[in-house]
Amino acid sequence: MADVYKNVARDDASVIMQIGVVNDGVHTGSPAPAALWAEVAGLRRDLRSALTRGEVSAAKFAAAQEQLEEVDASLADTGSGARERLLGALRRLKDLVAGAADLGAKIAIIVKAIHGLP
């Protein structure tokens, strides 16, 4: 028979997560905003390297820089709609650098981290 667990919350406490048996590490929450800033800074460096290697044209590099500015502004903004603007800028950025596979993968990592934010 499976184990049965009962939550007992008192004094206006709420049970956020109920876990029976944990045999390994548990990680909850979202990445620290500093981690996202670092990922975006790394993406910016990699974009410049892709330009140097000829994987991204100068025109696409300039357009990608504009999207990165939007990413920066959206990361700094905590207001309504900031996440949607951030994800939109990252989608446009991913489309711009589609020829450089490693850049697309890095953008996907950032998008996944953003989806994990509260």
The pair of three-digit structure tokens given for residue 47, joined into one six-digit string: 């974009």
Stretches in the chain below the pLDDT threshold 70: 1-3, 5-9, 12-32, 118
Give pLDDT, residue 80. 79
Question: From CA 86, how far away is CA 97, in angstroms rounded?
Answer: 17
pTM of the model: 0.69
Give pLDDT, residue 14. 64
Give pLDDT, residue 76. 85
